[in-house]
Chain A
Amino acid sequence: MERRVVITGSSAITPIGHGKDQIVKSLQNGISGIKTLREEEFLSRYIHSKVYGTVDYPVEYDFKRNHRKTMGPVAYYACQVAKEVLEQSGLTEEFITSGRLGVAFGSIHGSPTVQRNIYRIFFGADDKIAVKEIGAVDYLKSMVHTTAVNITKMFGITGRVISSGTACTTSSQSIGYGYESVKFGMQDAMLCGGADEYDTTTVAVFDNLLACSTAFNAEPNKTPRPFDKDRDGLVVGEGAGAVMLEEYEFAKKRGANILGEVIGFACNNNGGDMILPNLTGITNTLKLGLENARINPQGVDLISAHATATKMGDIIEAQAINAVFGSTPHVIGLKSYTGHTMAACGAIETIMALYMMQDDFIAPTLNLEEVDERCAMIRHVQKVLQQPVKTAAIQNFAFGGVNTILIIRKFS
C-alpha cells in the first residue's frame, strides 16, 4: 500500500529570519544571514574562519519549567519550530497523543554547549568533585536524540521516534524517513525536521579540514559563494526547520490547509571515502530519487543544491546535476543566505523551496557573481525570477558519504 503524503505545516528559525514572512523577504531581497563569528573564550580566537550564519534576533519562548529542565539550546530551537508546525497543522490534541503521529527529528551531535560544560567539569576538577557536578539532566540535554524526545515530551506525542544523526543529511533523512513512514502506513502523520545550535567546535572541525571560508572575514555577507569562481569554502550556521507530513486522505477529510506534497525520497552511501564528494554516489542518489518519485528529469523545474561552496563539492554536484537533469532545471544554492545550518539544512532548504512554490518565485544563489566555468554546465539563477515552481528537488550530502534527495511538488 502506497499513500500520498502532503505537507500541512512548516516553520523555520534561520539566520535570515523566523517564519515565512521574514524568510521570503530575505530571499527576495538578497539579504544574507552571515555575520562575524561571536567571540567566546574557547575556540573562536584560534579559528581562521571568522564568519557564521547567525540567529542574532531574539526568539521568544514560553516553555514551562518541567520541559525546560531537559532542554539545551538545540532543543529550544527544535521545540519552537515543532510547536509552530503543530499549531499551523491544526491537528487536534487527541490525534497528536493518539500514537498515529510520530517524530523524526535530529541534530548533528545533541547540544555541544551542554557537552562543553560537561568536559569543562571533567577536566577542571578531580574525579570525586567532577562526578558530583554532572547534572542529572545533562545527558538528556546533550544526547543525540535530545531534539526528538523533548518534542515528544512537550506535546505528548506517542508514535514512533526516528532520530537521524547523519551530519548534514540529518533533517533531509528526517523528512525522507517520515515520508516513508506515512507513505507505507506505519504512521498517519510525522513531525519531521532538524536543528543545530551556535557552536564553534563544528567551525573548528571544518576549519582544520581547510573547508571553511576565510577570505571574506571582513565582509561576512560576501560568503559563502556557491558555484562562484571566488568561493573559498563553507560557512557554518545555526537554526531549525520542521514540517508536518500527513497522509493525504486524512488531511483532506479534516479540511487541512495543504501546503505541498512530498513525492519522492532517496538515500544512499558512497561506500568509501568519508569526506570527499563522490560523483558516482551522488549521481545515483539523484537517479534513485527520480525513480522513487516516478518522474523523469524534465519533471523537475527547480533544484536546491547542497552547494556548500567548497572547491570540489560544488563541481562534483554540478557534474551530477548535469548528468541526470541536463541544463533545464533552475539550480540554486540556499546556503548562500544562511550558511550551512548542519542538521537543519535539509529541512530549512525544503521549507524555502516550499515558500517559493507557494509564492511563485525563485531566489537566486547569493554571491554568485561569476560562475566557475567548471560549474557552468547547469542553469544557475543569479537574480530573482518571478515564475511558478511546480516540482523541486532538494539535495543534501553528508560526511560519511551519505547522500539524500527529496522531491516535493506544488499541491493541486
Chain B
Amino acid sequence: MTRQEIEREVKDVFQREFEIENPDMDADLRETYEFDSIDAIELLLAIETFLGTEITQEEKKQAIHIRTITQICDYIEKIAKKRNLFSPA
C-alpha cells in the first residue's frame, strides 16, 4: 500500500464511521471535530481491518498522543512498514 492509499482510506473511515467529510489533515481532532477516546478505539479497529493485521497493545498505546489525521497516516505507515505492507510509490 502507498501513502496515497492510506490517506484515502483514513478519509473514507472518517466519512463512514464519524460523519466527517473532507477533514482538515492538520486540525486538532478533539478541538475541531469533537473526536474523543471512544472514537480513537473505533479508529484503531478500522485500521486493523484496513491493514488486515492485528495491532499490538504496545502499538495501540503509542497512538495515545495522536492529534491530527496526518499523524494517523504516519502511524499507519509506520505499522505497515514494520509488516512489509508498505510500498513508497
List residues of chain A with CB under 8 Å of any chain B CB: 65-66, 69-70, 132, 135-137, 140
Q: Is the beta-carbon distance between B18 and A140 smaller than 8 angstroms?
A: no
A132 to B55: give the CA distance in the assembly, Å.
11
Contact with A along B28-70 (1 / 0, CB 8 A): 0000001010110110010010000000000000000000000
A241 to B38, CA, bound (A): 29
Q: Secondary structure at chain A's binding surface: helix, strand, loop or mixed?
A: loop
Assuming A65-B18, A65-B19, is B38 touching A140 (CB within 8 A)? yes
Q: Which residues of B contact A69 (CB under 8 A)?
A: 38-39, 42
**Chain B positions near chain A (C-beta within 8 angstroms):** 18-19, 34, 36, 38-39, 41-42, 45, 48
Question: Shortest CB–CB separation between residue B34 and chain A, in angstroms?
Answer: 5
Q: How far is the CA of A69 from the CA of B42 in the complex (A)?
A: 10
**Contact B45–A66 (Cβ < 8 Å):** no
Contacts of A140 in B (CB 8 A): 38
Once bound together, how far apart are the Cα atoms of A72 and B48, in whole Å?
25
Question: By the criterion CB–CB under 8 Å, are B18 and A137 in contact?
Answer: no
**Chain B nearest Cβ from A297, distance in angstroms:** 52
Is B34 a contact of A135 with CB atoms below 8 Å?
no
Select from chain B the residue with minimum beta-carbon distance to A137: B38
| Chain B positions within 8 Å of A70 at CB level | 38
Cβ-closest chain B residue relative to A135 = B42
Hey, which chain A residues are within 8 Å of B48, CB to CB?
132
- Cα distance, A160 to B42, chains bound together (Å): 30
Q: Separation in Å of the A155 CB from the closest CB of chain B?
A: 15
CA distance A338 to B39 in the complex (A): 38
* A70–B18 alpha-carbon span in the complex (Å): 13
In the complex with contacts A65-B18, A65-B19, A132-B38 CB distance below 8 A? no
A69 to B39, CA, bound (A): 9
In angstroms, Cα B39 to Cα A66, docked, is 9
Known pairs A136-B41, A137-B38 / 17 extra A-B pairs, C-beta < 8 Å: A65-B18, A65-B19, A66-B34, A66-B36, A69-B38, A69-B39, A69-B42, A70-B38, A132-B45, A132-B48, A135-B42, A135-B45, A136-B38, A136-B42, A136-B45, A137-B42, A140-B38
